[in-house]
Amino acid sequence: MFGRIWRKRRAQPKTLSSQSVPVVQLPRAKRGSAAESEAKKAARALAHARLAHFNQFYGFTYQKVFIRNQKTRWGACSAKGNLGFNYRITYLPPQLADYVIVHELCHLGQFNHSPAFWQLVAHVIPDYKAQRRELRTRYRF
């Protein structure tokens, strides 16, 4: 029993209703390619612009913004106050990209997923539950 290697399984997409919801496979640029570089530039510009917009409502202090080519995460927030985003946020609909950006920004105020954290998110994205559900069920790397 202890000799087995347990692998974390990827969650299967859930449907939003009884009807099947089409899953969108987002483009992936080859690491180190010109396409990846251009996508990262666009994602950096988007992240900085939207962070400046949303941080007007919060007033949090963040350090650096990283744009990465990640396989499983949309964003991250470090204990040092650094924010990281997947370059594929540029391929998302604007409301979903905003949700990812606000989600990570709110971790600067609450470094967890407590009810207080979700209240922070709801301050500017009142329908965050629907946004989160759509992101998780429809969009794949």
Q: What CATH number should be reported for the domain holding residue 32?
A: 3.30.2010.10
Note the pLDDT tens digit of each residue in 74-111: 999 999 999 999 999 999 999 999 999 999 999 999 99
- Domain range for 120 is 28-140
Check: CB of residue 83 under 8 Å from CB of residue 64: yes
| pLDDT of the residue at 21 | 76
What percentage of the chain exceeds 90 in pLDDT? Answer: 77
Residues belonging to the chain: 141
Least confident of 25-34, 43-52, 104-113, 129-138: 25-34
Higher-pLDDT residue of 21, 19: 21
Q: Is 118 among the domain residues?
A: yes
How far is C-alpha 38 from the chain's CA centre?
Answer: 19
Q: Residue 14 pLDDT more than 50?
A: no
Q: What does the CA dihedral 100, 51, 33, 88 come to, rounded to 10 degrees?
A: 20
The answer to whether residue 36 sits within a structural domain is yes
Q: How many domains does the chain have?
A: 1
- pTM over the 0.75 mark: yes
